[in-house]
């Protein structure tokens, strides 16, 4: 089972597999709607200002969380090491696991890339 959001042709819409069945649901992050039965039969009938509607179903919540991480990772990949380390301190102090986790991933990617580069240079030295 894939529990990672997948992009679709519409940039606002992502796909996410059900946590319990073989179904795959479409989640419109801009509109805040999901194609799952819980959303389509219950939450969609609530007023848009209703806290339960705003909280959304578990798929919408997961997709928002993953989208925030993905955005933070895309930004982190463009920053230099000094800014990443400052950002890591800042977001870690705030207890923001999504952003501090994305920064850690970006730093790890660089470490792996540097090791691969060093190994390649050693091969041809």
43 is an interface residue for Zn ion by CB under 5 A:
no
Tell me how far apart the alpha carbons of residues 105 and 110 are, in angstroms, rounded to a whole number. Answer: 9
Question: Which residues from 45-74 bind Zn ion, rule CB under 5 A?
Answer: 57, 59
Strand order of the sheet with strand 33-34?
6-7, 13-17, 24-28, 33-34
In the complex, the smallest distance separating the C-beta of residue 9 from Zn ion, rounded to whole angstroms, is 20
5 is an interface residue for Zn ion by CB under 5 A:
no
In the complex, the smallest distance separating the C-beta of residue 65 from Zn ion, rounded to whole angstroms, is 13
Tell me how far apart the alpha carbons of residues 85 and 94 are, in angstroms, rounded to a whole number. Answer: 14
Question: Which residues from 6-35 bind Zn ion, rule CB under 5 A?
Answer: 34
Tell me how far apart the alpha carbons of residues 46 and 66 are, in angstroms, rounded to a whole number. Answer: 25
Residues engaged in binding Zn ion (CB under 5 A): 34, 36, 39, 57, 59
């Amino acid at each position: 089972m894939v529990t990672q959001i997948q992009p679709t042709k519409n940039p606002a819409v992502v796909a996410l597999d059900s946590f319990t069945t073989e179904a795959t649901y479409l989640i419109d992050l801009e509109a805040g709607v999901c194609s799952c039965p819980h959303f389509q039969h219950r939450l969609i009938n609530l007023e848009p200002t209703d806290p339960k509607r705003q909280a959304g179903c578990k798929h919408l919540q997961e997709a928002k969380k993953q989208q925030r991480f993905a955005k933070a990772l895309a930004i982190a990949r463009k920053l230099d090491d000094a800014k990443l380390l400052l950002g890591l301190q800042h977001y870690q102090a705030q207890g923001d696991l999504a952003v501090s986790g994305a920064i850690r991933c970006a730093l790890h990617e660089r470490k792996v890339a540097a090791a691969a580069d060093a190994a390649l240079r050693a091969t041809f030295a």
